[in-house]
Structure 1
Amino acid sequence: MHHEMMSDKWHEECGVFGIYGHPNAAELTYYGLYALQHRGQESAGIASVDGRKMYQHKGMGLVSEVFDSDVLKTLKGHAAIGHVRYSTTGETSIANAQPLTFGSQRGNMALAHNGNLINAFQLHNRLERQGSIFQTTSDTEVVAHLIARSGLPTIEENVKESLSIVKGAFAFLILTDDKLLAMRDPHGLRPMALGQFEGAYVVASETCAFDTIGAEYLRDIEPGEMLVIDKNGLHSSKFAHSSKTSLCTFEYIYFARPDSDIDGFNVHSVRKKFGKLLAEEHPVDADVVIGVPDSSISAAIGYAEATGIPYEIGLIKNRYIGRTFIQPSQELRERGVKLKLSAVRSMVDGKRVVLIDDSIVRGTTSKRIVQMLRDAGATEVHLLISSPPVTNACYYGIDTSARNELIAANKTVEEIRDYIGADSLHYLSEEKMLSAFDVVDFANHKFCNACFTGRYPTEVYEDLEKHMLER
């Protein structure tokens, strides 16, 4: 998918879904992935097992483009895992689409991963020197090789040994002929939850996938936990000690769906609270409050409720731009062909507008939206951001720009305001943002804010940006 088309938002890397113990495992995985489509739109895949054979299908595009009912019929079995992907660097290819599947003396194995391993490059080189031959440029394959080379008696022991070597962020699903394994990294950087459906266990990146298929949410998978699901039920153990959890705050700010609950907090409720806190920190005299769809609608409603300024739908998003969409020429773009967003003129004409957005990465989209609102007749545009300034790159599975492309790393707030062309620009402070979570013990607090603070929860290698595998 073209970066030109994707605007200058960040992109979550992937979504994972797994189910064990249901005759329609692949079909349910399809619906689960459909609910997680916002986490990746580039490729989709499903692997299933029936106890004897492993079946798989994956392709480039949206879930609905990759699968149809005939394909799903070929994915037989009682257990399945699925993956939606958004790649970040290097060439996009079907080889890197997941789940990755492998056959070995011990049987079949499929892996699906959300996150990023910061030492994958070093491990990849070491494994190649030791004779491993890689099919992909994905860091997920590094883990597959580690597992295959581990000589311990059981898959559980092999996975535990392998995960003790890797560093970074991961929510991993592994499917074998007779087991489904789910692991979440010791910092809990990426989300993963456990549910139940008609006697089967399900795991997913977000709880919205459970709601879609009608599964019951049981609990979140703990940081450093390994869940093994087989014919005897559920077994939990720890593969790593977790002293301090660091869930990515951007899951709440932007990535996750509003109807998901992550680690005990509903995403929509948290975003509304961000808006309310933004109103406390930065009240603005205005006529209407609008949010940039879809991720900033909740915060805009919170801001409007707190200030009493009416909330309006001032921007409409076109949701039907797929992977194969033909990009307009530069000439047509310059003539103002607007594909992603349009302003609702009657709501903003002659009005002082508070525009709520969740973040500014490069600033180009914000600049366009402010101009669009002025073109539609807005007399003032005040841009309020429901998170702190993004000043540092992320190494944990999110497509952030390099630091030199992050506008807040290189410009003051006033310089950003001037570039974007807003009448005023305000960000939510880190302290206020964290107060939305009612977490008292910030010594062991539950969030990674490295993109705002530069304080990374894991060690970060020198020149890490240069030494990343394609994910």
Structure 2
Amino acid sequence: MCGILAVLLASQNNVASEIAEGLQLLQHRGQDACGVVTCGPKGRFYQCKGNGMVRDLLDAKNLSQLIGGMGVGHARYPTAGSSAQSEAQPFYVNSPYGLVFAHNGNLINTDHLRYYLDHYAHRHINTSSDSELLLNLLADALQKTGKFRIDEDDIFRAIREVMQMTSGGYACTAMIAGYGIFGFRDPNGIRPMGWAKRKSETVPGGFDYMMASESVVCDALGYSDWTDIKPGEAIIVTQDGVKTMQCTPARTFAPDVFEYVYFARPDSVVDGISVYRARMAMGDALAATAKAQLDKAGIKVDVVIPVPDTSRVAALQLAQNLNIPYREGFVKNRYVGRTFIMPGQELRRKNVRRKLNAMALEFAGKNVMIVDDSIVRGTTSKEIIVMAREAGAKKVIMASCAPPIRYPCVYGIDMPSRHELVAHDRTEDEIAEYIGADHIIFQSLDDLVSSCQRLNPSIERFECSVFNGEYVTGGVDEAYLSHIEGLRNDNAKRKAGQQGAGPALVNINGANASNVVLASQPLGDVTGGGEVAGGGDISQVVGLSNENAGEAKESPSIVVGLDNQR
């Protein structure tokens, strides 16, 4: 569930600060790592990426080193691969052209693709990230053109080939040195992305363009005419304007319903659906379910309290429908990230206490209904209920705006192992007992889908596999689920994180260098390569170049991985 964006400015300079600001607006989609790659006036790439939050990595000093008027940004939330710094995006290859790539989602046929790239395309894959697979598939398809310079038709054909070879959910942005930016979306439209434009303040008659995961980024930065990229569609933006093409026939359009439940910001509009309005509708529907269950159980609720922030909208609507007081019983520490997307169960549990504090005034002596957007592993819910009881609550009723999550997600949300899901192989009563609630209320799947679908009736299906086990792309069987559970459960991630810990050291053609500032070759140079001579360990690297090979210069204190392919 990464956040991606790409920007092309008519003025052709100073794009980095705008990308950084956009990534901060997408920080909720990924807190593990972030990165920016820009393209300067000579077709050179400048990059800054590494583990950490946007505000920490992309400070004023580092941004000042990122030259150019177009670029790609990424905020990483790891679901495949490890948390090593080498897997921070955007990724880069220099053959057949300087190509930068950022990806949100997950592929489900990575073994097949890795075999193809190794045995047929002869492209080396340096990480365990499926994003790097996508980048090299795209580069291989572009190389098949055999052209010194490519045009839009070549790029569209290459994207079509990538879509035909891949299966899964993905939204991608990319940049070709000295040419422009482009993006595309999987044929089922599982992962979100759109684009917008604004009049340039410095170039008369010119326009700036942005692609992003969510509309809120473009709204906040003054872009207008937001347009969702259609399933199977690609868009290319150059200084000459915008071109779009349906690269492959759209399959069943099925945006991920979990975007509306949890991931997207409430002020975003995703595929024509206001996330805020969808959550209001979820609260309305949940209120009807709650009333029926509470009446049947003979439970009187004194107060409704949301788990901040994503459940606030639905909780307020539920309280109004039930005519029960709505109170903010939990105070949130805004400097602790989203616990759901933190790697490791123990870290999530500890950070619940650091993130939330219960006010006894709202809990003492009351029957409390706590409303959350969803219940995934149960870690957060269990800790929150303990906090409510410690604050004096008589009874704690847990209400979820989403149905029980019983199946793993394979399209880019960190729900890989069935055995880590609290609802897997448990009844609702057993879930309540496990998390310590007196009663638990779940939204029905029909009501959840209806809450979103009513706002855009043209969407006939949503990707709901985490609730019903029906995977829209097909190709997901028991063997596949067992395979990814072995690779992506918390224990596996912990081991991968330990192996990938420490600074990202890069070796270029066997030479070690220190404090190197590099940049990419102009579009059309298909020779690749570029040697760097010098002493010391490489720990501070920006970009890659043929033009300044061998030069060692001062650089900002930034750590990046470098993929010098072929």
Equivalent position of 1:221 in the other structure: 229
Normalising by structure 2, we get a TM-score of: 0.76
Give the alignment of 1:189-228 within 5 angstroms. 189-198=190-199, 199-228=207-236
Matched, 1:143 2:134: yes
Query: What amino acid maps onto 1:210 in structure 2?
Result: C
Q: 1:288 aligns with which of 296, 299, 303?
A: 303
Cα displacement (A) at 1:92:
1.3
SS of residue in 1 equivalent to 2:424? helix
Give the alignment of 1:326-337 within 5 angstroms. none
Deviation string for 1:203-252 (max 9, x for gaps)? 10011211332222421111111001112101010111114211010000
Equivalent position of 2:353 in the other structure: 338
Query: Cα distance 1:47–1:243, how it changes in 2: closer, same or farther (>3 A)?
Result: same
Q: Is the contact between residue 40 and residue 84 of structure 1 (CA under 8 Å) also seen in structure 2?
A: yes
Q: Is the contact between residue 273 and residue 456 of structure 2 (CA under 8 Å) also seen in structure 1?
A: no
Query: Cα distance 1:384–1:286, how it changes in 2: closer, same or farther (>3 A)?
Result: same
Query: What amino acid maps onto 1:193 in structure 2?
Result: G
Q: Is the contact between residue 104 and residue 170 of structure 2 (CA under 8 Å) also seen in structure 1?
A: yes
Worse-matched range after superposition: 447-456 or 402-411? 402-411
Cα displacement (A) at 1:439:
4.0
Query: Cα distance 1:226–1:89, how it changes in 2: closer, same or farther (>3 A)?
Result: closer
Cα displacement (A) at 1:442:
8.1
Distance 2:333 2:168 in 1: 35
SS of residue in 1 equivalent to 2:313? helix
Aligned-CA RMSD value: 2.4
Equivalent position of 2:28 in the other structure: 38
Worse-matched range after superposition: 183-192 or 338-347? 338-347
Q: 1:300 aligns with which of 299, 309, 315?
A: 315
Q: 1:271 aligns with which of 276, 279, 289?
A: 279
Q: Is the contact between residue 44 and residue 63 of structure 1 (CA under 8 Å) also seen in structure 2?
A: yes
Cα displacement (A) at 1:125:
2.2
Distance 1:212 1:230 in 2: 23
Distance 1:225 1:337 in 2: 40
Cα displacement (A) at 1:260:
0.9
Deviation string for 1:426-467 (max 9, x for gaps)? 111111112213449989614101110111101234432455
Query: Cα distance 1:69–1:293, how it changes in 2: closer, same or farther (>3 A)?
Result: same
Equivalent position of 1:458 in the other structure: 473
Q: Is the contact between residue 453 and residue 460 of structure 2 (CA under 8 Å) also seen in structure 1?
A: no
Equivalent position of 2:19 in the other structure: 29
SS of residue in 2 equivalent to 1:160? helix
Distance 2:288 2:137 in 1: 50
Matched, 1:88 2:96: no
Distance 2:327 2:30 in 1: 29
Query: Cα distance 1:466–1:339, how it changes in 2: closer, same or farther (>3 A)?
Result: same
Give the alignment of 1:39-118 within 5 angstroms. 39-51=29-41, 52-105=43-96, 107-118=97-108
Deviation string for 1:95-154 (max 9, x for gaps)? 11100011124x311000000011122211232233321122111111222222220252
Distance 1:104 1:173 in 2: 18
Equivalent position of 1:253 in the other structure: 261
Q: Percent identity?
A: 37
Cα displacement (A) at 1:59:
1.2
Equivalent position of 1:8 in the other structure: none
Larger strand percent: 1
Distance 2:352 2:466 in 1: 33
Equivalent position of 1:182 in the other structure: 183
Distance 1:372 1:322 in 2: 19
Query: Cα distance 1:296–1:229, how it changes in 2: closer, same or farther (>3 A)?
Result: same
Normalising by structure 1, we get a TM-score of: 0.90
How many residues align? The count is: 450
Q: Is the contact between residue 410 and residue 416 of structure 2 (CA under 8 Å) also seen in structure 1?
A: no
Q: Is the contact between residue 352 and residue 379 of structure 1 (CA under 8 Å) also seen in structure 2?
A: yes
Equivalent position of 2:118 in the other structure: 128
Equivalent position of 2:450 in the other structure: 435
Distance 2:379 2:94 in 1: 46
Q: Give 5+ residue unaligned stretches, structure 2.
A: 148-153, 200-206, 295-299, 339-345, 494-566
